[in-house]
Amino acid sequence: MRLLGLLFFLLVILQGGAVFAGDSPTLVILPDQGFYQPGDTVHITVRASTGTRVQAQVMYLTTLITTLEAPLTDGQTVLEWTPPPDAPRGYGLNVTVMDDAGTVVMSRSSAFDVLEHWIDAPRYGFFSDFSPARIGGTDQETVEWLLTHHINGIQFYDWQYRWENLVPETDRFEDGLGRPQSMATVRRLIDLIHPYKIAAMPYTAIYGASMAFFRQHEDWGMFNAAGEPYLFGENLIGIMDATPGSAWNQHLLGEYADVLDETAFDGIHIDQYGAPKTGYDSAGNYIDLAEVMPQFIDQTAAIVQARRGDAGVTLFNCVGNWPIEAVAGAEQDAAYIEVWSPYTDYLDLSRIVINAEQLGGGKAVILAAYIPPERTLNWQIANSVILASGGTHLETGEIGSMLADPYFPRFGRLTADQMDGFRRYYDFQVRYENVLSTTTTAAEYARQAEVELEGVRTRGIRSQDRVVPIVRIGETFETISLLNFLDIEGTDWNAPTNIAPTPLTDVLVSVPVTRSVAAVWFASPDSEATMTPTALTFAVENGVLNFTLPSLNMWSMIVVEYADGR
C-alpha cells in the first residue's frame, strides 16, 4: 500500500508542486520554509525535467530586487538569497529554465514572504489523520505540499483523546468517534513541520464533553429554559458551562495547560458549535455565551502566553460569523470564521472579512468555507473574493486536499489538472500581500462605487451579472480588485456554479483621484502569464484616472501608485 500510495503521489498529486511524473516537461519550485523571519536566508529548490541552467528573478511588486542563477545538476539546484529585514514583505519569483544554447525551455512563478510571526499573514492548513497507520513514508511529500502552498500554520483537527480529556495516558487510543489514534503520530507530525517554520495548533472545543463525562458531571452542563441539557450530535456530546470560574471552565483551562506542558503545540485553537447561544447553568443562572466566549478566549490566551510567550497563538472559531462583535477585540491573534447560512452570496465572504478586520483592529482574518473540489468555479471565485478582500481561506494541508466538510477527515481530493490553478492562489496572496492584506485597509463602500467600467454594471448588493470592485487602501497606493460575475448562473458560493463568467478584454476603467498618480499596474492569478505585474498606460483628466485593462477573466488586481509616496 505504501508503494501504491507513493506511485499515486508521483503520478497525480503534485503537478506544478513538489513532484510530477508524466510526458510534459515539469518545473518544481520549493521554498524551504512556510515563511521567513527577518535575517533568515531563503533557499529555493528548483527541479526541472529538462534544461541545464536556472535563472530566477526576485521581485517586490513591480521592482526587480535581484537575479539568481545556478546550473542544474541531475535536474536540480538550490538558489540562495538573504532578503532585507523588512517585514511584512511578500516577494515574487519568476523562474526560467534554459538549455545549453540559452533558450528558455520552461518558466513558472512562485513566491515567499518575510514576516515577524506567521499569524501576521496566516496560510492556515489542516491535518486530520493521526492514526497509528499513518507511517512516515509520505512525510516528505506532505512537507513539499505544504511548502508549495506556503502553508505556515496547521490545525490538528480532532487529534485528542476526548473533548474533555485531551492528552491520553497511552500512546494508542480511540478518539470520541472511535477512530484509532496515536500520540506518537501527533508528536511526529508536530516535529515534522516545525523545522519548516510551520506552526502546529491543537483543535479543542470550548464546551464539548463526551456523554460519559457529561453524565458524571451533569451539574457542569448548560440547560434550556425547561431545565433540559443541551446535547450535540445525536447525544454524542454534552454542552458544558464555560462561564469563568465554573467547574468546567477551570477543568478545560487545566487541560489546555497540560496540552502545552506535554506537547510541542504552538498555542490553542478553540472551536464552538454555533448553538446554543444562551442557556442556564444547573442553578438556573442565565448564561449569554456572547459574554462568556471573549472572557474564555482571554483566559486561554493568558495560558498560551505563559507557556509559549509571544510566539504562542490563540484562535477561536466564530461559527456562522457569531459572535464576531463580541470576540473580535478579545486576545485572539486572528479572526477565524466558519461561514454558514445566511452568508450564502459570494460577496458575503468579502463582507465577513472586511467586518472582522475592522472590528479586530486589523488582525488577520481566516475563513473556513467548505467547498467540494469538483466545484472548481466555486473555489476559484470564492478564493478570488476572499483574497481580494484581504482575508485567507483554510482549505488544504493533507496532500492534494481541499477541505469540503466541517468534519475535516471528509476532505476532498483535487485532481491533477486543478492543482496548478489552485497553487497560483497561494503564490499570488504571498507575492502581493503588501497590496492585498498586510499593509492595507478596506475602503469605504462609497469608494468602491466610484470605480466605473465602460458599458459594464459595477454597482449593486448582490454579485450576479456585474463586475464587483473591491478597493483596499495603503499609505501610498490603492488596490482595486475587479471580480467578474457576468453571466454566471448564481451567486451562492455553497451551491454548484457551473457557468464561468464571460471574459472581458480592453476594458476602460475610470476612477476619481485626488492625488498625483505615478503608476498603474495589474496582475491576476487567473493564468501563469498574468502572475507577473504589467504596467498600464494611464491618463488623468479633470480629476479622473482612466486606463484600459487588457483582460478580465475572473479576478484582475489593479494597483494605483501615488506620486506622493515616492
pLDDT confidence of residue 11: 31
> Which residue stretches of 275-345 are H helix?
289-308, 324-327
pLDDT category of residue 136 using cuts at 50, 70 and 90: confident
- Averaged over 288-312, what is the pLDDT? 98
Residue 105 CB partners (closer than 8 Å, separation 6+):
25, 50, 51, 97, 98, 99
What's domain 18-31+36-112's architecture? Sandwich (2.60)
What's the CA gap between 372 and 382, in Å, rounded? Answer: 12
Residue in the structure block whose three cell numbers are 469563568: 244
Residue 296 · residue 270 · CB < 8 Å: yes
User: Quick check: bond before 533 cis, omega within 30?
Assistant: no
What's the CA gap between 80 and 85, in Å, rounded? Answer: 16
What's the CA gap between 213 and 521, in Å, rounded? Answer: 59
What is the torsional sign of CA 251, 255, 257, 261? positive
Residue 181 · residue 159 · CB < 8 Å: yes
Residue 141 · residue 18 · CB < 8 Å: yes
Q: Which residue ranges does the chain devote to CATH 2.60.40.1180?
A: 441-565
Residue 442 CB partners (closer than 8 Å, separation 6+):
354, 357, 358, 389, 390, 471, 472, 473
| 344 pLDDT more than 70 | yes
Q: Which residue ranges does the chain devote to CATH 2.60.40.10?
A: 18-31+36-112
pLDDT one-digit tens code per residue, 392-416: 999 999 999 999 999 999 999 999 9
Instruction: Name the DSSP class of 244.
Output: T
What's the CA gap between 199 and 348, in Å, rounded? Answer: 29
pLDDT confidence of residue 566: 56
Residue in the structure block whose three cell numbers are 466541517: 406
User: Quick check: bond before 88 cis, omega within 30?
Assistant: yes
pLDDT one-digit tens code per residue, 465-517: 999 999 999 999 999 999 999 999 889 999 999 999 999 999 999 999 999 99
10 Å CB burial of residue 188 (0-12, 13-18, 19+) is: middle
C-alpha cell, 551: 483582460
Taking each continuous run of H as one helix and of E as one strand, the counts in the chain are 12, 34
What's domain 441-565's architecture? Sandwich (2.60)
Average pLDDT, the chain: 94
